[in-house]
Amino acid sequence: MSFFLIDLCLVEYEMLRFPPSMLTAAAIFTAQFTLGMSREWNATYEKHSRYGKNQILKCSELKIFFHQKAAFGKLTGVHRKYNTSKYGNAARCEPIYFLLEAWF
Ligand SMILES: *[C@@H]1O[C@H](CO)[C@@H](O)[C@H](O)[C@H]1NC(C)=O
Ligand SMILES: *[C@@H]1O[C@H](CO)[C@@H](O)[C@H](O)[C@H]1NC(C)=O
């Protein structure tokens, strides 16, 4: 799921403003949230990523937005790739449909 979310960013110009470490941290957070594993960005994540939750929020929200529109439009290659068992059918997971800000 986190690889899927990161791949979705590769074709989005506006994601160039985020450093790779932040794209990764936000992908892990968003993936856990999407899979219903965890909604928190606790002290352990903060320590190892060196980002606080407020720092990754914007990046995470954009990933959710890209996930929501991944199957539509002109660039659906990433969705098609992750809509296969080889990649865990990650694209079939429902994107989260609310703004993360509501949870903090
Ligand atoms: C943070 O969450 C992870 C995964 O749920 C857990 O392994 C870790 O112990 C937690 N850390 C703290 C400080 O609660
Ligand atoms: C994802 O794959 C399934 C099974 O191959 C297919 O039925 C479905 O239409 C695909 N979804 C999209 C959005 O392409």
Cβ neighbours around 25 below 10 Å, total: 26
pTM assigned to the model: 0.90
93 SS3 class: coil
Mean local confidence (pLDDT), 2-18: 96
> Would you state the pLDDT for residue 8?
96
Domain topology for 2-103: Cyclin A; domain 1 (1.10.472)
Write the burial class of residue 56 (CB in 10 Å: 0-12 exposed, 13-18 middle, 19+ buried).
buried
- Cα of 104 from ligand 1 centre, angstroms: 17
Q: Under DSSP, is residue 26 helix (H, G, I), strand (E, B) or coil?
A: helix
13-61 pLDDT, tens digit per residue, is 999 999 999 999 999 999 999 999 988 899 999 999 999 999 999 999 9
Which residue's CA is the closest to the ligand 1 atom numbered 9? 44
Compute the distance from residue 14 Cα to the ligand 1 centre, in Å: 31
The domain locations on the chain are: 2-103
Amino acid at 82: Y
Chain segment 70-103, per-residue pLDDT in tens: 999 889 999 999 999 999 999 999 998 766 555 5
Q: Nearest ligand to the C-alpha of residue 81?
A: 2
The rounded radius of gyration (Å) of the Cα atoms in the chain is 13
